[in-house]
Amino acid sequence: MSLTPDDPRHGKASTYRYHRCRCDLCRAANAVQAKIDRAKRLANPIPPMVHGTMNGYGNYNCRCNECRLANSMYEQDRKARR
């Protein structure tokens, strides 16, 4: 479904995500929502199941040895695939 320029749903993160609208208003709303989501995620303790994963390293900013190793292995694999 394509949204018309005068559609009232513009300027919302949900429009960016679910309707794939990439107008300036929707991009800005999505960026704000992503910052809010990340702040909420980082305000809580890191769930134990994410240690040793790229999720822990990237999304939770965990720098324990297990998460660093997961990131290192991911980067090595990514470079090898190039």
| 25-78 pLDDT per residue, tens | 999 999 999 999 999 999 999 999 998 999 999 999 999 999 999 999 999 999
1 in a structural domain:
no
pTM: 0.70
Do both 36 and 68 map to the same domain? no
Same domain, 66 and 52: yes
Specify if 69 maps to a domain.
Answer: yes
Its domain, for residue 14, covers 6-44
CA quadruple 24, 29, 33, 35: dihedral sign: positive
What's the domain count of the chain? 2
User: What was the pLDDT predicted at 29?
Assistant: 96
- CB contact at 8 A, 67 and 56: yes
Overall average pLDDT of the 13-18 stretch:
92
Q: What three-state secondary structure class fits 49?
A: helix
What is the Cα 4 distance to its own chain's centre? 27
SS3 content of the chain, % helix, strand, coil (to 5): 60, 0, 40
Q: Are residues 39 and 17 in the same domain?
A: yes
